[in-house]
Amino acid sequence: MNVYELFSVGMVILLGLLGGKIAHRLHVPRVTGYMLTGLIFGPSVINLISAETLQDIHMLNEIALGLILFAIGGEIQITHLKALGKRVILVALAESFGAFILVFGVTAAVTRDYALATILGSISIATAPGVILLVVREYKSSGTLTDTLLAVVAMNNVLCLVVFRLTFAVIQFATGAAAGGVMLDLFMELIVAVLIGGAIATVITYWEQHIDDLSELLLVIIGGLLLGIGLAKTLGISHLLVCLIIGAVTNNLSMMHRLIYAELRQTEMPFYIAFFVLSGASLHLDALSQLGLLGLVYLVARPIGKYLGIAWASRRYNADPVVRKHLGLALLPQAGVAIGMALLVSEHYPAFGHVVSTVILSSVIVYESVGPYLTKLSLARAGELYPED
């Protein structure tokens, strides 16, 4: 990392910290302040954070997203899921496929392009894990809705990764390629991700039993995550899935999991701030002018699909009323994972990749502008927020 890159990282963190403080004073989630700061100082407005800067320090995004997925995975505790019951799994499946089915249906009706409809449907499943996590932490939210929300976000991101990969198999099969190879690749990717994530988590939990200093544990966690990210990228598999598995397995194997996550929080915030500032800077306001009918369809169909899925599952499986009333609104945010998938589509399927990128990027601007506040509002209506400082 050269001197300019160091300057850029410092500037991004300090600007984001300032934006977060201003947002908090206005009773808006800090994460909104981080992203709006990036948008204002990014290429779309002032251009203090240039496109070249975004490219130079993109590794921060990889590390931050890995930390976020590790933390989300850490919310998946077997005993906790048992306490919530199988309903939380069924709700996660229902809201995910509710979004997929509705977005697929309306996109196919508008464009008659089933490949495009399948891609947008699969991307619509994802919810921004980092946004949800930071809102929950900022307001010290706790309760049935909070627990369900974190579990659902973890599950729908895993499901999104799997369904998205399956769409490639479907599209390749439709274009005459052998789908069996893609299916085998997907299966092997999942197996390898589980093996890598499980092995690293096992090392972390073993190491924790032989340390006297918590700072050493912090180094083990960060080292393990960086190792997981590096191995995943080397092998061409999803580092997001690997980090989520590391978090989930560590949480369920470790006897000191509370200390692990408390210790990690001492150092993760600079990465989170940088991630959301850079996410905001990567958004382009001119994408809104290209939104069009398809973009509006996606923007509206995704949240309605999630809401309908939750309503159906809640009635069918007698879910807690607070989940039925407020979970749908809390799941609106969508950012990094969806953007990454849109860019991947552009690389592999340029014929309609530009359309996918335009729809997703323009929708993300809207979702990330109002999503964090709506998540906070949902948690507040459920009575699960602590009073603000």
- The tally of domains found in the chain comes to 1
CA distance 22 to 265: 22
Residue 96 confidence (pLDDT):
92
pLDDT the model gives residue 62:
76
- The angle that helices 257-281 and 336-348 make with each other, rounded to 10 degrees, is 60
Q: Which residues contact 84 (CB under 8 A, 6 or more apart)?
A: 144, 147, 148, 151
What is the C-alpha to C-alpha distance for residues 168 and 147, in angstroms, rounded to an integer? 33
Phi and psi at residue 212, to the nearest 5°: -110, -15
Does residue 229 lie in a domain region? yes
- Inside any domain, residue 386: no
Contact present, 148 and 323 (Cβ < 8 Å): yes
The widest CA-to-CA distance across the chain, in whole angstroms, is: 62
Report the sign of the C-alpha dihedral through residues 246, 251, 256, 259, in that order.
positive
As given in the structure block, the two tokens for residue 101 are 């089915």
Any domain includes 388: no
Q: 282 with 339: CB under 8 angstroms?
A: yes
239-253 vs 257-281: helix crossing angle, rounded to 10: 160
CB count within 10 Å of CB 244 equals 28
CB 361 within 8 A of CB 342: yes
Domain contains 389: no
The answer to whether residue 269 is domain-embedded is yes
- Going by C-beta distance under 8 Å and a sequence separation of 6 or more, which residues neighbour residue 238? 161, 189, 193, 232
Residue 302 CA to residue 131 CA, distance in Å, equals 17
In the chain, helix, strand, coil percent, each to 5?
A: 80, 0, 20
8-state DSSP, 388: P
Could you give the CA distance from residue 57 to residue 278 in angstroms, rounded to a whole number?
A: 9
What's residue 4's pLDDT? 59
Q: How many CA atoms lie within 13 A of 334 on its CB side?
A: 32
Instruction: Work out whether the CA dihedral 102, 351, 188, 253 comes out positive or negative.
Output: negative
Q: 267 in a domain, yes or no?
A: yes
Residue 387 counted as domain residue: no
pLDDT at residue 362, rounded to an integer: 80
Q: Could you tell me if residue 64 is inside a domain?
A: yes
Q: What is the pLDDT along the chain (389 residues), one digit of tens a residue?
A: 555 566 777 777 888 888 888 888 888 888 888 888 888 888 778 877 777 777 767 677 778 778 877 877 776 666 666 666 677 888 889 999 999 999 999 999 988 888 888 889 999 998 888 788 888 888 888 888 888 888 888 888 888 888 887 787 677 666 655 555 566 666 777 888 889 988 998 888 888 777 766 677 778 888 888 899 889 888 888 787 888 888 888 877 776 666 666 666 667 778 778 878 877 777 777 666 666 788 888 989 999 999 999 989 888 877 788 888 888 888 988 877 787 777 777 776 777 777 887 788 788 888 888 888 899 999 998 888 875 54
Q: CATH number of the domain at 361, please.
A: 1.20.1530.20
Phi/psi of residue 254, nearest 5 degrees: -75, 140
Structural domain range at position 167: 3-381
Query: What pLDDT is stored for residue 178 in this prediction?
Result: 52
Report CA-CA distances (Å) from 323 to 66, 91, 152: 28, 9, 11
